[in-house]
Amino acid sequence: MRRIVEPELLDTLPSSDVRAARARADLRRLNGILGHARILTNAFYQHLNFDTARRRSLQICELGAGDGTLLLNGCLLACAVQFLRNRDRESARRLFLASIVYLPLLLTLMMFAFSHSGSR
């Protein structure tokens, strides 16, 4: 079977297009309804040891998640789940730092999406 790669709607629309803004909002809604952050968190735990992650390079590519908030939410959720499981000082510290970094990153992503949506 021959694979055919075609551009998706969001690949062809300018980011300021109203349809692109609606499509990103739909993706965020679907990610929330389907629990994609939880699914990503479980995948992180199956394939990632947080202790060895500090000593090696890790690359994650987010595909089809809209504006980047899915991966951000998944990372915060992963830290929260790790703290719930371990209840130790290191997990608490990691969750604390993640919560401090989370909001500025989220606001930056929101500003970027807003500035490219044409809604001024």
pLDDT tens digits along 68-109:
677 788 888 888 888 988 999 999 999 999 999 988 888 887
Angle of the 18-34 helix axis to the 69-86 helix axis, nearest 10: 20
DSSP run (H or E) holding 14: none
Q: Directed axis angle between helix 69-86 and helix 89-115, to 10°?
A: 170
Kindly report, residue by residue over 10-40, the tens digit of the pLDDT: 777 787 888 888 888 888 788 788 887 777 7
- Both tokens assigned to 90: 């290191």
pTM, two decimals, is 0.50
